Amino acid sequence: MTEYLIRRLLQSVLVLFLITILTFALIHAAPGGPTQIFLAPGLSPEAGKVQAHNLGLDQPVYVQYGKWIGGLLKGDLGHTFKNNIPVGDILWPRIKNTVVLMAAAWLLSLIIAIPWGIYNSTREYGISDHASNFVSYLGFAMPTFWFGILLQQWFALKWDLLPLSDMYDMDKQGDFGNLMLHLVLPVTVLSLGFLAGYVKYSRSSMLEVLGQDYIRTARAKGLKEGKVVFRHALRNALIPIITILGLDLPILVGGATLTESVFNWPGMGRLFVEMANAREYSVLMSITLVVSVIVILGNLLADILYAVVDPRVQYGRGGGSA
Amino acid sequence: MVRKKKWVSSFTVFALAAVLIAGCSSSNKSSESSSPSASATPSATTSASPSDSPSASPSGQPKDGGTLTISTFTDMVSVNPIFINDTASGDLDALIFAKLYDLDRNANLAAEPWSIAAELPQVAADNMTYSIKLKQNAKWSDGQPITANDVKFTFDTIRNPDVGSPAISTLDKIDSITVKDDYTLDIKLKQVYAPFPYSLFISIVPAHVLKDIPPKELKNSKFGVDPAQTVSSGPWKWSEWTQGQHFTIEKNPNYWGEKKPHIDKIIYKIYADQNTEVQALMKGDVQMTEAIPLTQIEAVKKQDGLNVILAPGPQYEYVQFNFKDENFPDKYSPFKGQKTRQAIAYALNRQGMVDNVLKGSGGLMNSPFLPGSWADPGDKAVNYNYDSEKAKQLLAEDGWKPGKDGILVKDGHRFSFELQYNSGNSRREQVSQIIQQNLKDVGIEATPKGMDFATWIDQNITPGKFPAILLGWSLTNPDPDAESIFSSKYFPPAGQNSGWYVNKELDDLWVKGQQTVDKTERAKIYQEIGEKISIDLPYVFLYQYGLPQAVNSSKVKWAEDDRPESSLAYGYLFHAINWWVE
């Protein structure tokens, strides 16, 4: 296992390096640059050339990449072109804000979805099962921004029960209770989206396991249904769910652009769009890097949890995946 | 191996999404601030505008204290006046920096109680030397006096090519600046340049803070991005910036002006988009919104206490033709005939656009000068009324004949072109469709194409490579001089005549306009330009438009003399020093 982990981590570093090269090339291949945004028509083109030169944007892409990666190795993510603000100063608060929002929604939906799915698997086509189907369809079909606006109309504008948008009231920055109030609506919207998938996954995964021979054997032995479900079936049913969770991990950092926009949540999703429009190469590179790292770690974590949950899974030299 | 593929594909999707987003979106910000202009058009008189501006509160007396929250949908970039080039930063600049001179409501240069200059400049008989006297009590927010050295430093820095200031073109006619004493200086020009007084409508930066920074490094300095290091000079000082969320200003304790601001604190809250802004306005989270979408005007008006100021502002929209053959797929510009261009002007239902799309926030434009300004040619400019029959007749006179598919043909070339505009701007999207329909009615095929702003500027506008575009100019400077847009001296990539328009007579008139200082004489020249340009039509001028400003008038108050002035750049903050909040 240790050897496996080391191998995986080394591979990851190599892959991350390749990702940065690819992303850098792709971002620079997009037409228009930071100075175009800075200049806009009507302003002297010379000023743009001078700025491009002062910022090093007139150098070949590989030189710019070399500078960027050199900075990265020293822990410097670079600066914005527009106003020379360190990328980290922009990035970390946004990541934090997104994690607060997404983790709340994710955990809430897990807490509801997994038990609900399990319950539904034992009572197929019951009322609860139909209800969860309805919620799933709603979650999948309803555009989140539209649902968000609906909630805002009722709970914030019409009844004035909850804040309309933002993370905090202007005069209550950092206040935990205030944050909780602001979380209610966006978390509701986002968890509905997550919930829709997780209920389905856990139900079907559980059903599959419950249909297997060893469960039948267990039942035939006369074990109580609760014991069959929780002791014998659950562990195996969790494996595919863990995979999904691992793969969803990047969403926690990447943010949900539309929901963040509707609720004016200062997170990563919005940042990415803003920075793409502004052609802020360093910020875009850093976001890609962070998300890539999370993707890799999420996969690794899913693999490890696999082994923990299911002892049949073994990693080692020559060992395949489950 | 299964899992490796998984994350490779996850990454690929992400990377592709990144490029797609980068390649095909354009923020509202770009669309609205798409065209700051080095040109100048007077927005002079407050012309009878169809505004239902919130009335002053005659009952109320100014009150000190309180907080005003304003919403915006773009974050500021840097408030360093040398580099300001976006609306949000410009707003902040207008509140925290004192300008050398200000503008009055009629867009005349004025030495206001809050201007650094003590009186209007003295102009020498040769019209090339401007003597400027400063107030002796003006101070920076760190307590240092504001002197003639600061003014000289500001001008010299902006006109230094190594700095890369976007404002360089307003000051490059300066020959030398002489500081005579701490509060007096002379500016000598290289040539007579009538628009120069408006170059003095400028924020001054503190030499004692910036003088030791090498010019090339100025843009990277913390001045302008770090509130603690941004020494300013206006009624308020910058106290806080949380990127992407809000920036806040507070009363400047060292403010030197005789008139002090009433409002203690102004917060700019940054919203993700304009619809979210309007919601916040309705909820009462903000008291003022600088621009609300046209589609939301009615909803906002219905709400108690909210008012909408609907006056046309200092910006206009146009269709620009390209005269260079090689920019067309068949190497033939169909726009070369004057009658053809006039036909297009007749074919477009401009009044319909004003009525249906702008919903009262605009008015027709027939020349590059704002209606009602001193350079406005008025009735002398041709007003092309919507008349498709006349259009068809003119097209026929110019040699266009209907082809097999109904589209006009001349010398084997179909009259078909791409009309480019920046995507994400709903007004332009709507207007481009109207243009498409109107032109189809007279046998011209126009294909609207929305493009990402940065890409568009880079690949089409700057190099002058496009068939036709739908774009606007924001007139940040009230002078009517627009030589750099229309003269054949300014072809791409060095200039802004991106349609490769040539008219020698007009070329000369623009220069004559710059070199005539007498305002009455100058007005005659611009009226002549307006008349000629409305006949020759390098652009079809569509309309002047405004950004509807919404105000919670039960909370934000001003006397009638201090009401916002939409026709000025940043005019929605006009005389904010005298406003108060209830």
Q: How far apart are CA B578 and CA B582, in angstroms?
A: 13
Contact A41 B498 (CB under 8 A): yes
Q: How far apart are CA B49 and CA B62, in angstroms?
A: 27
Burial class (CB in 10 A: 0-12, 13-18, 19+), A158: exposed
pLDDT in tens, A217-233: 888 888 888 888 888 88
* Domain at A87-309, CATH from 3.40.50.150, 3.20.20.480, 1.10.3720.10, 2.40.50.140: 1.10.3720.10
The domain locations on chain A are: 2-73, 87-309
pLDDT in tens, A253-294: 887 889 999 999 999 999 998 898 888 999 999 999 999 999
Residues B495 and B563 in one domain: no
Return the residue of B nearest to A167 by Cα: B245
pLDDT band at B40 (very low <50, low <70, confident <90, very high): very low
Chain CA centroid to CA B434, Å: 24
Give B89's contacts (C-beta < 8 A, 6+ positions apart): B76, B77, B78, B79
Contact A46 B267 (CB under 8 A): no
Instruction: Quickly count: other Cβ atoms within 10 Å of residue B111's Cβ.
Output: 20
Residues B556 and B465 in one domain: no
- Phi-psi region for residue B99, left (φ > 0), alpha (ψ -120 to 50) or beta? beta
End-to-end CA distance of chain B: 67
Domain contains B191: yes
Return the residue of B nearest to A292 by Cα: B11
3-state secondary structure B111-153: CCCCCCECCCCEECCCCCEEEEEECCCCECCCCCECCHHHHHH
Give the total residue count for chain A.
322
- The CATH number that applies at residue B519 is 3.10.105.10
Contact A45 B494 (CB under 8 A): yes
Percent of chain A clearing pLDDT 70 (strictly above)? 95
| CB contacts, 8 Å: A276 with chain B | 18, 21-22, 25
- CB burial readout A223-261, b (16+ within 10 A) else e: eeeeebbeebbbebbbbbbbbebbbbbbbbbbbbbbbbb
Residues B444 and B454 in one domain: yes
Residues B371 and B229 in one domain: no
| CB contacts, 8 Å: B28 with chain A | none
In contact, B347 and B384? CB cutoff 8 Å:
no
Residue in the block written with tokens 């120069």: B196
Task: Give the mean pLDDT of B425-434.
Answer: 93
| CB contacts, 8 Å: A85 with chain B | 225, 243
Residues B147 and B173 in one domain: yes
pLDDT in tens, B207-251: 999 999 999 999 889 999 999 999 999 999 999 999 999 999 999
In contact, B368 and B482? CB cutoff 8 Å:
yes
Return the residue of A nearest to B158 by Cα: A47
Domain contains B269: yes
Return the residue of A nearest to B82 by Cα: A47
Contact B272 A29 (CB under 8 A): no
pLDDT at A36: 67
Residues B285 and B346 in one domain: no
Structural domain including B210 reads 65-311+547-581
Percent of chain B clearing pLDDT 70 (strictly above)? 90
At residue B401, the 3 state secondary structure works out as strand
Domain contains B246: yes
Q: How far apart are CA B87 and CA B350, in angstroms?
A: 28
ipTM: 0.87
Domain contains B2: no
Q: How far apart are CA B54 and CA B551, in angstroms?
A: 8
| CB contacts, 8 Å: A50 with chain B | 161-164
Contact B168 A274 (CB under 8 A): no
Residue type, B434: I
Instruction: Give the global pTM.
Output: 0.87
Give A289's contacts (C-beta < 8 A, 6+ positions apart): A16, A19, A20, A23, A72
**pLDDT at residue A135 above 90?**
no
Nearest to B272 among A38, A90, A261 (CB): A261
pLDDT at A221: 87
**In this structure, what are the phi and psi dihedrals at residue B419, rounded to the nearest 5 degrees?**
-105, 110
Residues B270 and B328 in one domain: no
Mode of pairing for the β-strands spanning B556-557 and B539-545? unpaired
| CB contacts, 8 Å: A167 with chain B | 245
Domain contains B85: yes
Contact A41 B455 (CB under 8 A): no
Residues B170 and B291 in one domain: yes
Mode of pairing for the β-strands spanning B102-103 and B109-110? antiparallel
Domain contains B125: yes
Q: How far apart are CA A200 and CA A116, in angstroms?
A: 9
pLDDT in tens, B455-477: 888 889 888 999 999 999 988 88
| CB contacts, 8 Å: B269 with chain A | 166, 170
Give B205's contacts (C-beta < 8 A, 6+ positions apart): B80, B81, B82, B150, B153, B154, B157, B223
- List the single best residue of A12, A20, A35, A50 to mutate versus B (max B Cβ within 10 A): A50
| CB contacts, 8 Å: B75 with chain A | 274
Q: Give chain B's domain count.
A: 2
Task: Give the mean pLDDT of A238-266.
Answer: 87
Q: How far apart are CA B367 and CA B375, in angstroms?
A: 10
**pLDDT at residue B538 above 90?**
yes
Count of alpha carbons within 13 angstroms of residue B478, beta-carbon side: 30
Q: How far apart are CA A258 and CA B198, in angstroms?
A: 43
pLDDT band at A82 (very low <50, low <70, confident <90, very high): confident
Residues B242 and B157 in one domain: yes
Nearest to A42 among B69, B276, B496 (CB): B496
Distances (CA, A) of A233 to A111, A212, A214, B16, B498: 18, 9, 9, 39, 71
Task: Give the mean pLDDT of B308-312.
Answer: 91
Domain contains B39: no
Q: How far apart are CA B62 and CA B65, in angstroms?
A: 10
Percent of chain A clearing pLDDT 90 (strictly above)? 43
Residues B302 and B392 in one domain: no
Contact B244 A270 (CB under 8 A): yes
| CB contacts, 8 Å: B494 with chain A | 45-46
Helix spans in B314-385 (H):
338-347, 350-356
Chain B: give the shortest CA distance to residue A263, in Å.
Answer: 8
Instruction: Quickly count: other Cβ atoms within 10 Å of residue A7's Cβ.
Output: 13
- List the single best residue of B13, B72, B285 to mutate versus A (max A Cβ within 10 A): B285
Residues B306 and B386 in one domain: no
Contact A94 B461 (CB under 8 A): no
| CB contacts, 8 Å: B214 with chain A | none
Q: How far apart are CA B345 and CA B57, in angstroms?
A: 44
Specify the DSSP element, H or E, that contains B239. strand B236-242
Nearest residue to B76 (alpha-carbon basis) of B315, B352, B290: B290
Chain pair A-B, CB pairs under 8 angstroms = 207
- List the single best residue of A8, A43, A95 to mutate versus B (max B Cβ within 10 A): A43
| CB contacts, 8 Å: A89 with chain B | 243
Nearest to B35 among A42, A94, A247 (CB): A42
Contact A264 B271 (CB under 8 A): yes
Q: How far apart are CA B63 and CA B559, in angstroms?
A: 12
pLDDT band at B60 (very low <50, low <70, confident <90, very high): confident
Residue-wise DSSP of B491-505? -TTTSS-TT----HH
Domain contains B470: yes
Chain A: give the shortest CA distance to residue B17, in Å.
Answer: 10
pLDDT at B467: 97
| CB contacts, 8 Å: A150 with chain B | none
pLDDT at B428: 94
Residues B347 and B242 in one domain: no
Instruction: Record the tokens describing residue A223, joined without a space.
Output: 């074990």
Residue type, B264: D
- List the single best residue of A161, A165, A182, A272 to mutate versus B (max B Cβ within 10 A): A165
Contact A44 B69 (CB under 8 A): no
